C-alpha cells in the first residue's frame, strides 16, 4: 500500500501556461450555485444554452432555476440533503432542474433516460431519492417500479415544455398523433406549472459548503454492482477550476460556442461541458439525440462551434459522414476526447477535416471526472492521456503500492481535491478504492520520462463501450435470471466502432433456449450499450478448480479464433 504522505515527486508545472494560476482558489465560491450565479450575473444577456432551437440567456436560466428551486422547497418540502433523480436527455429542463436542486442543497442523482425498470429500481432505491424529474416518455417504466422506491414526488416534463409556443404546440400534436407518450396512472406534478407556481421571493438559501454532497453519480465501483460516487461541491468546483486551468490562454470567456452531444447524465458532459463552460459564460449547444449523426452534424451548419467534447466513436462517425466533410469545419479551436481510448486513425482523420488535433484526456466518475489531459497549447502526444491537471498527483504502482520505474507498467493511482468522498453507504468499497488518499483507478498505465501518461490496459474486467462502463457481473446476473439459463459469463472484445463490445457465453438449463430468446430478454432488462453483441450457447464454461469462471480464457479463445464480423454475430 502507498505510504501516507508519499508523492510522485514529479513536477508537471513547466507544462502549464506561464500566466495561469499556480494553485486552486475556493475563496470566491464555496458551492456550485454560487459559482454559476456569478456567471449568470456577469453574462446576464448572453445566450447560455440552446436546445432544439430554443435559447435561454444566463438571466433567464438563473430565474427559471430559482423558481423551480422555490417550488421544490416550498411546495414539495424538499430540503438540504434530500436526493432527487433527474432522468432527462439534453434538453433545457435538465440544467434548470439540476441548478434548482443545487440551490437548495438537494443531492442530484443523474439517471440514464434509457434505463430499464430493473436498472431504475436499483438506482432509485439505493440512493433513496424522494423526488424525480422525468420525461413523460418514460413514465410507464417508472410506474412499474415506483412502489419499490422511496419516491414521493414525480415531476413530469415533455419535449415541448421549454420550446416557443408555436413550436411546442406542433411538437405536442405530432407526439400525440404518433401515440409516443405512454399511458400511466401515476400522480404527477407538471414541470411547466411548477415554474409558474415557484415564487422566487420565498426561496430560502441554505448554507452550503465545500464538503456538502452535490450529487451521487452512479458507477460500477470495483465489483460491478452499481454504486453512487459521492461528489461534493468541493470536488466539482475543484475540477471546474482544473479544467479552466488546462484551457488557459486557449479560450475566451463569454465568446465560445460549445457543442454538447454527450449526455448530461454522464459525468464527462456534466462537469466539462455544462458546469465548467457555463461558469465561463460560454454558449452551450445541446444535442438531445446525437445519433443518427446527422443530428450532430446539423449543429455545425447552424452554429460556428469552437469547442466540443466527445468519445472516439462519436468522432469516428463524424469523420466518416459526407456532410461533415463537405461543411469544411474550421471554427473549432479544440476538441476534447475522453471516456475511451482515442484511436490514432480517428485523430488523423479529424485533423484532416478540421485542421485541429483532438486533445485526449482521462478521468473517472470517482474523480469528478478529469485527472489528466494533454496540454492544450501544445501538440498532443499520440496515444497519451497527457499530464495530471493542476493540484493532482499521479503515480504508476505495483500490487504492493510501490512506484514502478519510468516506462514500466502498473496500476494508475491519483490524488487530488476532485477525488470523491467515497461510495454512498458502502464503506468497504470506499476502502478498497481509496487508500491513504490515493484513488486506485484499476487502469494499467505507464509514465514516460517526460511525465506523460499512457493507458495500457484495464486491470478490472470492466468493458468500455463507447465511453460507457459495462460491468460483466451485472450482465451475467441479468442473463442468469432467465429461467432457462444455468450460468453465464460476459467478456469484452475489441470492436472497431465502439472500442469494445459485450459478448456473452451461456450454458442452458433448458435445451429449448435460443439466442433470439436471450436477445429479447436482454432488450427488456438492459440499456442498449449493455446488451451483448454476441451470444453463444455452450455446453460448459472454463473454470478454476474451485469453480470460478475464467473470463480470461474465454477472451483468449475468442481472440485466438478471430473475432467474427457483426453480420455473423447477429446471425448467431
Mean pLDDT of 197-219: 96
Could you read off the pLDDT of 16-64 as tens digits, one per residue? 999 999 999 999 999 999 999 999 999 999 999 999 999 999 999 999 9
Q: Who wins on pLDDT, 377 or 298?
A: 298
**Which CATH superfamily groups domain 463-571?**
ANL, C-terminal domain (3.30.300.30)
* 571 has a pLDDT exceeding 80: no
Q: What's residue 123's pLDDT? A: 97
Q: Which of 142-146, 197-201, 207-211 has the lowest mean pLDDT?
A: 197-201
Q: Does position 342 have pLDDT exceeding 80, yes or no?
A: yes
Closest CA to 447 of 390, 373, 387: 387
Cis? peptide before 525, omega within 30° of 0:
no
**Helix, strand, or coil here: 56?**
strand
Q: Which residue has the higher pLDDT, 228 or 328?
A: 228
* Residue 120, helix vs strand vs coil: helix
Query: Is 90 exceeded by the pLDDT of residue 534?
Result: yes
Residue 438 pLDDT exceeds 80: yes
- Could you check whether 55-208 and 463-571 share the same CATH topology? no
Q: How confident is the model at residue 563 (pLDDT cuts 50, 70, 90)?
A: low
Give me the chain's average pLDDT, please.
92
Backbone angles phi, psi at 301, to 5 degrees: -80, -30
pLDDT of residue 566: 37
Banded pLDDT at 176 (limits 50, 70, 90): confident
Q: What is the mean pLDDT of residues 378-389?
A: 92
Share of the chain above pLDDT 90, in %: 77
What are the tens digits of pLDDT across the range 453-492?
Answer: 999 877 778 898 998 888 887 898 899 899 999 889 999 9
Give the three-class secondary structure for 523: helix
81/213 Cα distance (integer angstroms): 8
Domain definitions of the chain by residue range: 55-208, 463-571
Q: By C-alpha distance, which of 161, 195, 177 is closest to 52? A: 161
* Residue in the structure block whose three cell numbers are 436477445: 519
Please give, one letter per residue, the 3-state secondary structure of 336-397.
EECCCCCCHHHHHHHHHHHCCCEEEEEECHHHCCEEEECCCCCCCCCCCCEEECCCCEEEEE
Which grid cell is 347? 485523430
451 pLDDT more than 80: yes
Whether residue 332 is predicted with pLDDT greater than 90 in this model: the reply is yes
* Contacts for 17 with CB less than 8 Å, ≥ 6 apart: 245, 248, 249, 377
* pLDDT, average across residues 359-376: 96
Q: How far apart are CA 164 and CA 157, in angstroms?
A: 15
3-state secondary structure at position 130? coil
Apex 72 CA angle, 67 and 73, nearest 5: 95
In this structure, CATH architecture of domain 55-208: 3-Layer(aba) Sandwich (3.40)
Distance of CA 517 to the CA centre of its chain: 31
| pLDDT confidence bin for 225, thresholds 50/70/90 | confident
User: Which of 274-288, 319-333, 396-410, 536-550 has maximum average pLDDT?
Assistant: 274-288
> What's the CA dihedral at 348, 351, 356, 357 to 10 degrees?
-10
Q: Is 425 left (phi over 0), alpha (psi -120 to 50) or beta?
A: left
- Note the pLDDT tens digit of each residue in 127-141: 999 999 999 999 999
Mean pLDDT of 259-264: 95
Closest CA to 555 of 498, 486, 494, 484: 494
Name the residue with higher pLDDT: 477 or 388: 388
Q: How confident is the model at residue 545 (pLDDT cuts 50, 70, 90)?
A: low
Tell me the average pLDDT across 187-194. 97
Whether the CB-CB separation of 159 and 123 falls below 8 Å is answered with no
Give the model's pLDDT for residue 543.
Answer: 80
Helix (H) or strand (E) holding 244: helix 233-246
Query: In this structure, how many other beta carbons lie within 10 angstroms of the beta carbon of residue 298?
Result: 12
**pLDDT mean over 266-279:** 96
Q: Which of 456, 565, 566, 496 is nearest to 346 (CA)?
A: 496
Say what the pLDDT of residue 570 is: 37
**DSSP letter for each residue of 412-433:** EEEESTTS-SEETT-HHHHHHH
Amino acid at each position: 500500500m502507498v505510504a501516507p504522505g508519499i508523492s510522485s515527486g514529479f513536477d508537471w508545472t513547466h507544462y502549464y501556461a506561464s500566466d495561469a494560476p499556480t494553485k486552486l482558489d475556493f475563496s470566491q465560491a464555496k458551492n456550485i450555485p454560487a459559482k454559476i450565479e456569478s456567471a449568470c450575473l456577469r453574462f446576464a444577456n448572453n445566450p447560455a444554452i440552446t436546445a432544439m432551437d430554443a435559447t435561454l440567456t444566463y438571466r433567464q436560466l438563473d430565474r427559471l432555476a430559482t423558481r423551480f428551486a422555490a417550488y421544490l422547497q416550498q411546495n414539495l418540502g424538499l430540503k438540504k440533503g434530500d436526493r432527487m433523480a433527474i432522468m432527462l436527455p439534453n434538453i433545457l429542463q435538465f440544467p434548470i432542474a439540476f441548478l434548482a436542486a443545487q440551490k437548495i442543497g438537494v443531492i442530484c442523482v443523474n439517471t440514464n433516460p434509457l434505463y430499464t425498470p430493473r436498472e431504475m429500481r436499483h438506482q432509485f432505491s439505493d440512493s433513496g431519492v424522494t423526488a424525480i424529474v422525468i420525461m413523460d416518455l418514460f413514465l410507464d417504466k417508472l410506474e412499474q417500479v415506483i412502489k419499490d422506491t422511496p419516491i414521493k414526488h414525480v415531476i413530469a416534463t415533455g419535449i415541448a415544455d421549454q420550446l416557443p409556443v408555436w413550436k411546442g404546440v406542433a411538437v405536442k400534436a405530432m407526439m400525440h398523433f404518433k401515440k409516443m407518450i405512454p399511458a400511466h396512472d401515476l400522480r404527477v406534478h407538471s414541470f411547466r406549472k411548477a415554474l409558474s407556481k415557484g415564487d422566487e421571493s420565498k426561496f430560502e438559501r441554505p448554507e452550503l459548503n465545500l464538503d456538502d454532497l452535490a450529487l451521487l453519480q452512479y458507477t460500477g465501483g470495483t465489483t460491478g454492482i452499481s454504486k453512487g460516487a459521492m461528489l461534493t461541491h468541493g470536488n466539482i468546483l475543484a475540477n471546474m477550476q482544473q479544467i479552466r486551468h488546462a484551457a488557459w490562454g486557449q479560450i475566451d470567456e463569454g465568446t465560445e460556442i460549445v457543442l454538447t452531444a454527450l449526455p448530461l447524465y454522464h459525468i464527462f458532459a456534466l462537469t466539462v461541458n455544462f458546469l465548467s463552460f457555463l461558469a465561463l459564460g460560454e454558449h452551450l449547444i445541446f444535442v438531445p439525440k446525437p445519433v443518427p449523426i446527422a443530428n450532430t452534424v446539423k449543429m455545425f451548419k447552424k452554429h460556428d462551434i469552437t469547442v466540443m467534447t466527445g468519445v472516439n466513436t462519436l468522432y469516428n462517425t463524424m469523420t466518416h459522414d459526407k456532410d461533415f466533410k463537405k461543411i469544411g469545419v474550421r471554427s473549432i479551436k479544440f476538441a476534447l476526447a475522453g471516456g475511451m481510448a482515442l484511436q490514432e486513425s480517428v485523430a488523423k482523420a479529424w485533423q484532416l477535416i478540421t485542421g485541429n488535433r483532438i486533445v485526449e484526456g482521462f478521468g473517472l466518475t470517482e474523480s469528478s471526472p478529469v485527472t489528466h489531459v494533454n496540454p492544450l497549447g501544445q501538440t498532443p502526444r499520440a496515444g497519451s492521456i497527457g499530464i495530471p491537471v493542476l493540484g493532482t498527483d499521479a503515480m504508476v504502482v505495483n500490487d504492493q503500492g510501490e512506484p514502478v520505474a519510468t516506462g514500466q507498467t502498473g496500476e494508475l493511482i491519483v490524488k487530488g481535491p476532485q477525488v470523491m468522498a467515497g461510495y454512498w453507504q458502502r464503506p468497504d468499497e470506499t476502502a478498497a478504492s481509496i487508500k491513504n488518499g490515493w484513488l486506485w483507478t484499476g487502469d494499467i498505465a505507464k509514465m514516460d520520462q517526460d511525465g506523460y501518461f499512457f493507458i495500457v490496459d484495464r486491470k478490472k474486467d470492466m468493458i468500455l463501450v463507447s465511453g460507457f462502463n459495462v460491468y460483466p457481473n451485472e450482465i451475467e446476473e441479468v442473463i442468469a435470471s432467465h429461467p432457462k439459463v444455468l450460468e453465464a459469463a460476459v467478456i469484452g472484445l475489441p470492436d472497431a466502432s465502439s472500442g469494445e463490445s459485450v459478448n456473452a457465453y451461456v450454458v442452458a438449463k433448458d435445451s429449448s433456449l435460443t439466442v433470439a430468446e436471450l436477445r429479447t430478454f436482454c432488450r427488456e432488462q438492459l440499456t442498449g450499450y449493455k446488451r451483448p453483441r454476441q451470444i453463444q450457447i455452450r455446453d460448459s464454461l472454463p473454470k478454476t478448480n474451485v469453480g470460478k469462471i475464467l473470463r480470461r480464457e474465454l477472451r483468449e479463445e475468442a481472440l485466438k479464433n478471430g473475432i467474427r464480423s457483426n453480420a455473423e454475430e447477429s446471425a448467431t
